[in-house]
Structure formats: C-alpha cells, structure tokens
Amino acid sequence: MTKKKMEIIYYKNFFPDWVISGTTTRKFGDVSIRNPAGRKKLEKLLKIKHLACLNQTHSAVIKKVGTKLIPDEADQGDGLWTRERKTGLLIKTADCLPILIADTKAKIIMGLHVGRRNLFCGIINRGLETLLKEKSSLMNLKVFLGPFIEKKCYPTDLETEVRNQLKKYGISNGQVKSSGECTYCLTNKYFSYRRGDSERMGTFIYIDSRLRGNDRQQV
C-alpha cells in the first residue's frame, strides 16, 4: 500500500479473482443514507451499474438482489445477497462490522451489517441459512471482516463472537479473514461513530463481469 491517502482500499488475495471487494475511506467521503450521492459516486468509480444497499436497522433481515429487484435506501434490512454480475452489494458502517461472504463454487455473494444488537439476534444464522437454501456448501465459503471497532476500544468483541457463531456451522477460522483495522484507532483513515462521526464508509462486494481484477490496487 502506498503512503498516499486512498479513497478505496481493495481486498485481494483472499477471495477468488472474480470477486471485487473493498471499503471506502474517510477521504472518499460519506456514503450514509443521508447522502445517496456517495453511493452514486462509488458506482461510477467502480464502473458498476448498481450497488444495492439498505436502510440498516440492526435487524436480522436479509434481502435478495435480482436483476429487477435492487434494494436501496428505501428498503430496511441488514443483509444482501446475489448471484448477479452487474449489481454489487454495499454495507455502510462506522464502527459496526461489515461482513463480506462469497461461495467460491456456487458464485453467490453476501454482505452483512453486523453490530452488537443484531449479532445476538441471529444475523449470522439468517445469512448462513439463506445460503444453505441456495444450495451453498458452507465449506466453500470465504468470509471477510471489514474494518470495525475492535475489542480494545469497545466492550464487545465482535470478531470472536462472529467466529464462534460461524464455527457452529462448521466454518473454520481458515475460511475467515479480518482486515485487522480498527475504525476507532485509525482516525485519519476511517469514520468512527463512537468518535462522533456521522458519516459512513461503504464496504462493497461484487462479481466482476469480466471475471478479472488485476488492474486494482492491492492491500
């Protein structure tokens, strides 16, 4: 990674090449529900037709994204999944945990918005049950945890709880990777709700229609 401040951090070397994923930084600006222009800017930058998103409420509600069924700020929920290639998934956070999931064989992707409240009311279960219904094999899943407020700065250890819940489904630690970045600590890089920011970062995942992504910057 260069020292120059970047607007988007891309995650590579974890998901297969056909999965493009990343997180916007403070430099990119706000992608919260109050600023739909932020999402439009990101769609343009990624050269993707749509980024589906939700009015996130810390629920366990998960929505499907289809060609003609693209949830946006008017729809409530905290999880999105799709097989579509032209529509990405966008999770908005500032301290909460954005989780990106890809079934590397079935080519299904999912994004979850996870905070303390919905972590303990079944968002992970609901996500995995949804994937199982879609004939996903949990052994083929890769799970990425984007930047969030880590346990040294917050009373709840979100990551350990997530990993424990995944383990109950047989998803091993080797299938799970964390960005290792704390939103509260990295004040110049990310927004942090607990530090008083009202803006949100956008963590996204989409299936590259060209099934390649070599021209992207690496983390």
Should residue 184 be labelled a site residue for Zn ion when binding is judged by CB under 5 A?
yes
All residues at 6 or more sequence positions from 107 whose CB lies less than 8 Å from its CB, including other chains: 18, 83, 207
3-state secondary structure of 133: helix
Output the six-digit token pair for 19. 């999965």
Selected binder of Zn ion within 185, 193, 216, 219 (CB under 5 A): 185
Which of 21-29, 83-91, 103-111, 152-160 is the region at the interface with Zn ion (rule: CB under 5 A)?
Answer: 152-160
- Tell me, rounded to whole angstroms, the distance of Cα 142 from its chain centroid: 12
What character string, x for contact with Zn ion (CB under 5 A) and - otherwise, covers 104-143? ----------------------------------------
Side chain identity at 77, as an amino acid letter?
Answer: G
Using alpha carbons, list the distances in angstroms from residue 164 to 62, 77, 119, 151, 158.
21, 23, 11, 15, 10
Should residue 186 be labelled a site residue for Zn ion when binding is judged by CB under 5 A?
no
Which of 76-84, 94-102, 181-189, 204-212 is the region at the interface with Zn ion (rule: CB under 5 A)?
Answer: 181-189
> What is the nearest approach in angstroms of Zn ion to the Cβ of residue 146?
14
Binding site for Zn ion (CB under 5 A): 150, 153, 182, 184-185
